[in-house]
Amino acid sequence: MSPGSLLRGVARRPVLALALAVIIGVFACALLAPLLAPYAPDDQMFDGLSLDGAPLPPSAQFLLGTDTLGRDLLSRLIYGARTSLLIGLVANGTAVMIGLAVGVIAGYFSGLLGGVLMRFTDLMTAFPALLLAIVLAALLKPSLWIVAMVIAMVNWVQVARIGYTETRSLAERDFILAERAMGAGNLRILTRHILPHLVPTAIVWGTLGIATTVLLEATLSFLGIGVQPPQPSWGNIVFESQSYFQSAPWLVFFPGAAILATALSFNLVGDALRDLIDPTQRGRD
Amino acid sequence: MTAPVLSVEGLCVDARTPQGARRVLHDVSFALNAGETLCLAGESGSGKSVTSLAIMRLLAKSSLRVAAGAIKLGGQDLLALPESAMRRLRGGDVAMIFQEPMTSLNPVMSIGAQLTEAIRIHQGAQDAPARARDMLDAVRITDPARRLAQFPHELSGGMRQRVMIAMALSCRPRVLIADEPTTALDVTVQAQILTLMRELKGEFGTSIILITHDMGVVAEMADRVAILQGGRIIEQAGVVPLFTAPREDYTRTLLAAVPRLGARAGEDGPPRVTTISPPTPPPGESPVLFVRDLAVTYRAHGKWFGGGSALKAVDNVSFELRRGRTLGLVGESGSGKSTTGKAVLGLIPFAGEVALDGVPIAGLSTREMRPLRRKAQMIFQDPYASLDPRMPVAAAIAEPLAIHGIGTASERRERAAELLRRVGLSPDHGSRYPHEFSGGQRQRICIARALALEPRLIVADESVAALDVSVRARVLDLMLELQETMGLAYLFISHDMAVIERMCHDVAVMRAGRIVEAGSRRAVFEAPADAYTRELMAAVPVPDPTRRPGVPLIPE
């Protein structure tokens, strides 16, 4: 698959091109935040509030309006992209990796090891995720990295379940038996013949999970154990402002739209990526 | 002459593809007369199933569409009927039975509930349960009252197909479409089902469209035959003229490719396909495979507490196999032949003695087993399932070399190319993926992969069962040629007596985990000593319509 045909494939699907543009835009915001943001994200400006102290709607001076403390919303969103993207990628990546490792090992070595691993997974599934996150976050001092780890600890269970089921069905297939008949060891079978088949699942979960991760981070922020203010994240902007939804709808609308657009774009790109790396789908459209 | 029950006139079907409509059925016309059995015969992809689904108007709407033609049932054009009228017709006037009776029955409904449902829908009969019992009686199922309360998984494959037939005939359809009704069944069961269908056709006054790839079944069942190839009917004739004087080349090839039982009578061993003289193993050379008192036990899953019961899948099996020879393991499903094949390669735990090339393998660890794996390879029934769909075929063929760390990457690539050529494929195909090949080509790829380590023994488990007859003959010839040039020993596992006869020097007949008869192929086939062997041989359909057997119908 050459880069040229890849580009043509993207160009033929305008929705995919748009999704890619959104993701590139979000990454650009995260990397170049100090250059792109018109103001500092935590600068509480005097002229950012009306005379009776209400936040300002979008105007030429503040493109997306200001929040209740007179901070520029656009700047906060641009800096928030940093936090949210970081948590989305790190937390999700970790969750998918842990989940796959547990699922694949449990599925391939069924028996005692598999049983123990999957019962542990069941236990984690049954445990209320939010409660677990609160306990973990309360025990450890809240910081961006801790929040990411806490979210990963909560989110890996679904991936483990799916990885387990898929591995079980793969392990029964004839080509795995054929590998064993050729003398391949477990490590080779796992890494070369089972994991590659799970990549599509991992991609779909990795991208689907970004939306839930951003939202879970927002929930944790709301409870005061997430990303600590004044550091902005898309989630905590929504939660800080939700009681002003009636009087200042832009405060919820813009960060909400950012979360939605990013999550959707990741899903679309993930789907396209999955089709692209599946040899049986190649040449189709 | 009376009007035909069903007539198909100029039927064309298009498949929807990204490149636009592609015609898969070209101008198919035939007529089915009252009380007649018409066979639609052809290889995979010939359009025989599409034809039957079009008659039922059950084509998958998203991909297939009738482009032209008419299907008339007693003068009424089915293609013009509204869906509601068609639904009354399906199962009522035109009924269908499928290849796999297990998947065509609802696993969570009792046999009785499914039968009475079919009867109620079409006849609104008050006495549906009683009629259901009568139908089971009609298809010669013993103890019908008890069967009504049973579920599909409690019945054998043959019994399930009888239930399907009972269901299909319960509304006395004018036309019964049977799509490969016996392909998934054992040969002795197949003989019973075919006899049953012949008898019921008279009793119920039904005309039958029988779809099959098996010319033996055609010879036994058909009054008339239509041969399909590439979506066209290329020849249509009465069954005797078709078999005795086929007009078309393709029909001739098809008939010639059918292995006939008894074709090798009076000969020892398989035909020679090369000029290489047969190997004369030095006296005292240990057999490639030596098996004594092999037993494989499956532990059935117990309840939560307490152990499960043990099930002996293979018991007391002994044989030996020498260089350049083929031992056929023949038997019906559940006879333990595949389990034996896996056990001798050490793929499943077993008891007893197994020696590969003189080295006992019992109790060896994976690591100790590895060098022995080079000596013995396996070819499976379904070549598509046994190739990793995410691996280009050249990599798949080089995989055994990579596993054993033989050669550099480029040497392995060269070897893969050479092996592709060896099995009759172009080395340029190496970068393609398994789904881009046909069934026969895929099996060649599997053979190439098995050859990569230059093994001494190949276990071929139903290796040609999934292939069309014409392709099957070529793959078998390839295997014979490789045996002669490389001195391979084959453990050839099959349910197909004709294939076994063609390929083997020696034969062991298995039933319920034991060998009931073993000996040279000639001795076993020409003078079978065991009653079961004789039963197996009698049940094989003979591709000669003038020699229809009268198999006595045994109630099941």
Over the stretch B42-70, which tens digit does the pLDDT of each residue have? 888 788 888 988 998 888 877 888 888 99
pLDDT of residue B515 exceeding 80, the answer is: yes
Least Cα separation, residue A171 to chain B (angstroms) = 12
CA A275/CA A200 separation, integer angstroms: 8
Closest CA to B51 of B238, B233, B234, B242: B233
Which tops the pLDDT comparison, A109 or B184?
A109
Amino acid at B413: R
The pair of three-digit structure tokens given for residue A163, joined into one six-digit string: 């990885």
Chain B interface mutation, best of A182, A192, A194, A275, highest count of B Cβ atoms under 10 Å = A182
Look at A280 and B404 and tell me if their CB atoms are within 8 Å.
Answer: no
Backbone angles phi, psi at B421, to 5 degrees: -65, -40
pLDDT of residue B420 exceeding 50, the answer is: yes
**pLDDT computed for residue A241 by the predictor:** 78
Residues of B in contact with A175 (CB under 8 A): 385-389
pLDDT of residue A252 exceeding 90, the answer is: no
**pLDDT computed for residue B552 by the predictor:** 55
Which tops the pLDDT comparison, B267 or B482?
B482
**pLDDT computed for residue A273 by the predictor:** 79
**pLDDT computed for residue B491 by the predictor:** 95
A12 Cβ under 8 Å from any chain B Cβ: no
Backbone angles phi, psi at B404, to 5 degrees: -90, 10
Which tops the pLDDT comparison, B155 or B490?
B490
**pLDDT computed for residue A100 by the predictor:** 93
Q: How confident is the model at residue B177 (pLDDT cuts 50, 70, 90)?
A: very high
Give residue A5's Cα distance to chain centre: 28
**pLDDT computed for residue B385 by the predictor:** 87
pLDDT of residue B113 exceeding 80, the answer is: yes
| CB B39, CB B218: distance < 8 Å | yes
**CB-CB: which of B366, B385, B435 is closest to A173?**
B385
Here the ipTM equals 0.72
Q: How confident is the model at residue B271 (pLDDT cuts 50, 70, 90)?
A: confident
Look at B382 and A174 and tell me if their CB atoms are within 8 Å.
Answer: yes
Q: What is the DSSP string of B383-421?
A: TTTTS-TTS-HHHHHHHHHHHTT-S-HHHHHHHHHHHHH
Residues of A in contact with B435 (CB under 8 A): 279-280
Mean pLDDT check: name the lowest of B36-40, B293-297, B379-383: B379-383
- Share the mean pLDDT of chain B: 86
**pLDDT computed for residue A284 by the predictor:** 44
3-state SS string for B502-526: HHCCEEEEEECCEEEEEEEHHHHHH
A172 Cβ under 8 Å from any chain B Cβ: no
pLDDT of residue B307 exceeding 60, the answer is: no
The percent of residues in chain B predicted with pLDDT above 90, rounded, is 30
pLDDT of residue B1 exceeding 70, the answer is: no
pLDDT of residue B38 exceeding 70, the answer is: yes
**pLDDT computed for residue A283 by the predictor:** 46
**pLDDT computed for residue B483 by the predictor:** 92
pLDDT of residue B281 exceeding 70, the answer is: no
Asked: is A3-40+62-281 a CATH 1.10.3720.10 domain? The reply is yes
Residues of A in contact with B388 (CB under 8 A): 175, 179, 193
Q: Does a cis peptide bond (omega within 30 degrees of 0) precede residue A230?
A: yes
Query: Which residues 5-34 in chain B show a CB within 8 A of chain A?
Result: 18
**pLDDT computed for residue B208 by the predictor:** 93
Least Cα separation, residue B155 to chain A (angstroms) = 25
Residues of A in contact with B378 (CB under 8 A): 177-178, 181
Sheet containing B94-97: give its strands across. Answer: B94-97, B175-179, B207-212, B37-41, B224-229, B232-238
CA B96/CA B92 separation, integer angstroms: 10
CA B487/CA B446 separation, integer angstroms: 19
Look at A182 and B366 and tell me if their CB atoms are within 8 Å.
Answer: no
3-state secondary structure of B8: strand
B377 Cβ under 8 Å from any chain A Cβ: yes
Backbone angles phi, psi at B240, to 5 degrees: -70, -50
Topology of the domain covering B262-276+283-299+310-375+455-539: Rossmann fold (3.40.50)
Closest CA to A58 of A250, A264, A204, A247: A250
Question: Beta strand pairing status for B351-356 and B289-299?
Answer: antiparallel
Residues of B in contact with A279 (CB under 8 A): 389-390, 392, 433, 435
Strand partners, B461: B493
CA B294/CA B345 separation, integer angstroms: 12
Least Cα separation, residue B326 to chain A (angstroms) = 20
**pLDDT computed for residue A285 by the predictor:** 41
Q: What are the helix (H) ranges across chain A?
A: 3-12, 14-31, 33-36, 73-108, 112-126, 129-139, 144-171, 174-182, 186-188, 195-222, 234-241, 250-277
The pair of three-digit structure tokens given for residue B449, joined into one six-digit string: 């992969």
Look at A175 and B388 and tell me if their CB atoms are within 8 Å.
Answer: yes
Q: Identify the DSSP state of B347.
A: S
The pair of three-digit structure tokens given for residue B254, joined into one six-digit string: 């098809």
Buried b (16+ CB within 10 A) or exposed e, B248-268: eebbeebbebbbbbeebeeee
- List CB contacts of A106: < 8 A, sequence separation 6 or more: A113, A114, A115, A117, A118, A121, A160, A164, A167
**pLDDT computed for residue A282 by the predictor:** 54
The pair of three-digit structure tokens given for residue A165, joined into one six-digit string: 């089921």
Look at B366 and A185 and tell me if their CB atoms are within 8 Å.
Answer: yes
**pLDDT computed for residue B125 by the predictor:** 67
Topology of the domain covering B6-257: Rossmann fold (3.40.50)
Least Cα separation, residue A173 to chain B (angstroms) = 7
**pLDDT computed for residue B474 by the predictor:** 85
Cα separations (Å) of B515 from A144, B321, B353, B495?
69, 15, 16, 14
CA B528/CA B536 separation, integer angstroms: 10
Chain A residue with CA closest to B368: the answer is: A183
Q: Identify the DSSP state of B380.
A: -
Q: What are the helix (H) ranges across B170-309?
A: 187-204, 215-221, 239-244, 249-257
Question: Beta strand pairing status for B489-494 and B457-461?
Answer: parallel
Q: How confident is the model at residue B551 (pLDDT cuts 50, 70, 90)?
A: low
pLDDT of residue A58 exceeding 60, the answer is: yes
Hey, do B6-257 and B262-276+283-299+310-375+455-539 end up sharing a CATH topology, with the first three levels equal? yes
Which tops the pLDDT comparison, A147 or A22?
A22
- List CB contacts of A20: < 8 A, sequence separation 6 or more: A10, A265, A269
Look at B373 and A285 and tell me if their CB atoms are within 8 Å.
Answer: no
CA B168/CA B177 separation, integer angstroms: 9
Chain B residue with CA closest to A178: the answer is: B386
Sketch the domain layout of chain B as residue ranges. Answer: 6-257, 262-276+283-299+310-375+455-539, 394-454
Sketch the domain layout of chain A as residue ranges. Answer: 3-40+62-281
Residue B15 buriedness (CB in 10 A; 0-12 / 13-18 / 19+): middle
How many other CB atoms sit within 10 Å of the CB of residue A9? 15
pLDDT of residue A224 exceeding 80, the answer is: no
Amino acid at B406: I
**pLDDT computed for residue B327 by the predictor:** 95
3-state secondary structure of B531: helix
pLDDT of residue A46 exceeding 90, the answer is: no
| CB B10, CB B27: distance < 8 Å | yes
Give the predicted TM-score (pTM) of the model.
0.77
- Share the mean pLDDT of chain A: 82
Least Cα separation, residue A185 to chain B (angstroms) = 8
Chain A interface mutation, best of B386, B393, B397, B443, highest count of A Cβ atoms under 10 Å = B386
- List CB contacts of B72: < 8 A, sequence separation 6 or more: B6, B7, B8, B9, B78
**pLDDT computed for residue B555 by the predictor:** 61
Residues of B in contact with A278 (CB under 8 A): 390
B447 Cβ under 8 Å from any chain A Cβ: no
pLDDT of residue B445 exceeding 80, the answer is: yes
Closest CA to B318 of B334, B298, B340, B285: B340
pLDDT of residue B183 exceeding 70, the answer is: yes
The pair of three-digit structure tokens given for residue A84, joined into one six-digit string: 């949210």
| CB A60, CB A72: distance < 8 Å | no
**CB-CB: which of B386, B389, B453 is closest to A279?**
B389
Over the stretch B78-96, which tens digit does the pLDDT of each residue have? 888 888 888 888 888 898 8
CA B92/CA B171 separation, integer angstroms: 5
Q: How confident is the model at residue A209 (pLDDT cuts 50, 70, 90)?
A: confident
The pair of three-digit structure tokens given for residue B137, joined into one six-digit string: 């009686």
Mean pLDDT computed over B527-539: 89
Closest CA to B504 of B527, B522, B486, B487: B522
3-state secondary structure of A252: helix
Give residue A32's Cα distance to chain centre: 20
